A and B are shown apart, each in its own frame.
Chain A
Amino acid sequence: MLFLVSGFKAPGVDGNSKMKAIFIMNFTKLIEWPKSYREGNFVVGVIGDTPLYSELTKMAKTKKVANQSLQIKKFSTAKDIGKCHILYVSKGKSQDISAVLKKVKSNSTLIITEKQGLVDKGAGINFIIKNNRQKFELNKKNVEKYKLKVSSNLEALAFTVK
């Protein structure tokens, strides 16, 4: 997290979280959820502590996914996870990936992680840093096995596609 000192603008601008939030907003447009998921709120779950949670909460105040209101939910453990369109697994909860996968296996949930290697362990999208820039890896199979459709544009924009 950033911290503030006199002269620094914008109380702790967290560019990393803001960029991830924008990426996630893009994913909602470049991935198609089954019809039954296109009603009610569009739920983004966050498991574990991450500054991204407050950024997403901020985003949810002004943005929608098509006609669906954005709802951000925080889960402490894999056990608590409920139905969500996107589940963000914070770095601190990366070791719980197997439990997370078990919990969402019957849902149409896009699993996003932020630890190297997790795209090979079930995550659909994994955020990585390349040359100081926020990028993402895509595992198409891991996305599609949850009955989600990946647009070719998303593939083109990913740093790597598996």
Chain B
Amino acid sequence: MNKRIYILFIISILTSSVFGQFVGKDNLSISLFYMQKAELDSAKKYIDLATADETLTTAAKTWYYRGFIYKELYKKREKQNKTSPLRLISIESFKQMLTLQGAEEFSESAHKILKYEASTLYNDAARLLDPRNYKTATTNFEKFRNTMLLINPKTDLRARDIKFKLALASMLNRPAETAAGLDSSQADNVKNLYIEILALDPNNPAANYNLAILYYNEAADIINNMDYDMDIMKLNEVQDRCIEIFLEGLPYMKKSYDLNYKRRETLVGLSNIYYGLNDIEKSDAYKKELEDLEKE
């Protein structure tokens, strides 16, 4: 008898001290309790349960706190992880929150956090811009964009787009400065990036100049690889193709000239392109301009 009373006594103590306080409370409240105590793992456990609970899953508050808890976890555990899943879950949670009724109450705070998370994505994208990680960098940049648009669908991201694409193109174009050069698929990737930049900013000097160089190099490659035994019919076809490519590059180099970008290099570029086009008079005119410039 004494033993039974003792066991009941122990159970009553336990329920009232630890678990007792959660009796009748939902998973969201429990999660908030742990969050206030900075016990993030427990907070995460209960907020995940809350989002799966049909009575809580439609509440903006549930998703707001999920976003908040995951953001805190990201800061604590995955700040150095440039592909942090915690950060992405946080963003997804806020995204979900913004679709629900009652989101207005939390939207200001959610936007602030999203802005912070977007900036970390952007910084990580910039840090990953190297030949091994550029695909992850691009993914991060896309996530940065989407997050910014989540905050305000009218956000003008053109300047950021241009800056990132220029940095990416410049990184991908680095082999062009070496003896190895770019293979045709690498060159196409870089070319497409510059074309995308010019769609956003037709007067971008670096994109105009570099795109012209890429076209020039494409034709130069074809010429370099021509065999001396090539028959005249084939030679005429190759000539047509090269002329086409030089003509494609020409307007971009002319634009670079109009924008007064890299004056010396642009004059060399124009002279070389016109030489490729067999327009020796124009080629010589730009060469002369360069010589005059160098005399100054």
Which chain A residues have a beta carbon within 8 Å of chain B's beta carbons? 2-10, 12-16, 18-19, 21-23, 25-26, 59, 62-63, 129, 131-134, 157
Residues of chain B contacted by A12 (CB below 8 angstroms) = 272
Q: Contacts A7-B265, A8-B272, A25-B228 given: A13-B223 contact, CB under 8 Å? A: yes
A63 to B287, CA, bound (A): 34
**Chain B interface, number of residues (Cβ within 8 angstroms):** 40
User: Is B232 within 8 A of A26, CB to CB?
Assistant: yes
- Asked if B221 and A134 sit within 8 Å, CB to CB, the answer is no
The verdict on B166 contacting chain A, using a C-beta distance below 8 Å, is no
Chain A residue contacts of B176, Cβ below 8 A: 7, 9
Do B228 and A8 touch (CB < 8 A)? no
* Chain B residues with CB under 8 A of A25: 228-229
Q: A4 contacts which chain B residues (CB < 8 A)?
A: 268
B interface, CB within 8 angstroms of A: 176-177, 181, 210, 213, 216-217, 219-221, 223-224, 226-233, 235-236, 239-240, 242-243, 246-247, 264-265, 268-269, 271-272, 275-279, 287
Q: Is the interface of B mostly helix, strand, loop or mixed?
A: helix
Contact A18 B231 (CB under 8 A): no
What chain B residues lie within 8 Å of A59 (beta carbons)? 228
Complex Cα distance A12/B230, Å? 21
> Across the interface, do B278 and A129 meet the contact criterion of CB distance under 8 Å?
yes
Is there contact, CB below 8 Å, between B243 and A132? yes
Q: Is the CB of B269 within 8 A of A5?
A: yes
**Distance between A5 CB and nearest chain B CB, rounded to angstroms:** 4
Q: Which of B227, B229, B271, B276 contacts A15 (CB 8 A)?
A: B276
Contact sample, A vs B, 19 pairs, CB 8 Å cutoff = A6-B265, A7-B210, A8-B216, A8-B217, A8-B220, A8-B269, A9-B217, A9-B221, A13-B276, A15-B220, A16-B278, A22-B232, A22-B235, A23-B235, A25-B228, A25-B229, A63-B228, A131-B243, A132-B278
Beta-carbon contact of A21 and B233 below 8 Å: no
Partner of B277, one of A2, A8, A132: A132
